[in-house]
């Protein structure tokens, strides 16, 4: 397991945010079309990411609070194989599927996502990643704060929930 400190923000000017980051000369990993299939699990979240760049089975847990927060992550990298999705769907059931186009950048241990999510809009995500356990939570927090300031994010930009939760809430019938 590794620790991320991360935030997600709903933004209207994705290109402007990306241009600000490019001034810092990040490493561009490419644009990925990702299908994240979320499965029904008793705790945390389990998703199978199918993309051109990234494909992994990911379990994570984090609080549903706005702003930057800690996330505990277990990532299983595998070769794409439709049997894995079939096993998970058959045994656990599919909760929802998130379809997004994601532009991925890195600066050192910090990963940046510029996302266009089908049915939800545009978002920027910043993940300060501590894979080896040697960064320390304070450094990760400072990195998130620095990039939130770079993007000039306001408190109401931050999103508390995962894309899957936002999508499920949007699809839910209204309560009377």
pLDDT in tens, 103-123: 999 999 999 999 999 999 999
Q: How many domains does the chain have?
A: 1
- Report the predicted TM-score, pTM, of the whole model to 2 decimal places: 0.90
Give the C-alpha distances (Å, rounded to integers) separating 164 from 10, 41, 94, 119.
Answer: 14, 13, 11, 11
In a domain, 61, yes or no: yes
End-to-end CA distance of the chain: 42
Each residue's pLDDT tens digit, 37-73:
999 999 999 999 999 999 999 999 988 888 888 888 8
Would you give the DSSP letter of residue 174?
A: P
E-state strands within 40-120: 45-50, 55-61, 69-77, 94-107, 110-117
In a domain, 99, yes or no: yes
- Across the range 147-159, mean pLDDT stands at 95
User: Which residue is it, tokens 């490419």?
Assistant: 30
pLDDT at 172 over 90: no
Q: Supply the pLDDT for residue 3.
A: 84
pLDDT at 176 over 70: no
In a domain, 176, yes or no: no
Q: What is the CATH number of the domain that holds 146?
A: 2.40.320.10
Which domain covers residue 84, as residue numbers?
Answer: 2-171
In a domain, 67, yes or no: yes
pLDDT at 145 over 80: yes
């Amino acid at each position: 397991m590794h620790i991320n400190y991360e935030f997600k923000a709903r933004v209207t000017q994705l290109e402007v945010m990306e241009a600000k980051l490019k001034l810092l000369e990040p490493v561009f990993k490419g644009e990925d079309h990702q299908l994240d299939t979320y499965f029904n699990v008793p705790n945390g979240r389990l998703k199978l990411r199918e993309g051109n760049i990234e494909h992994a089975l990911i379990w994570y847990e984090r609080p549903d609070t706005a702003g930057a927060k800690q996330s505990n992550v277990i990532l299983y990298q595998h070769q794409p194989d439709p049997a894995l999705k079939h096993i998970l769907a058959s045994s656990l059931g599919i909760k929802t599927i998130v379809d997004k186009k994601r532009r991925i950048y890195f600066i050192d241990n910090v990963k940046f996502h510029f996302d266009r999510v089908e049915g939800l809009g545009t978002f920027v995500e910043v993940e300060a990643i501590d894979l080896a356990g040697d960064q320390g939570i304070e450094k990760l927090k400072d990195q998130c704060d620095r990039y939130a300031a770079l993007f000039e994010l306001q408190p109401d930009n931050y999103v508390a929930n995962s894309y899957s939760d936002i999508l499920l809430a949007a699809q839910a019938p209204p309560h009377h």
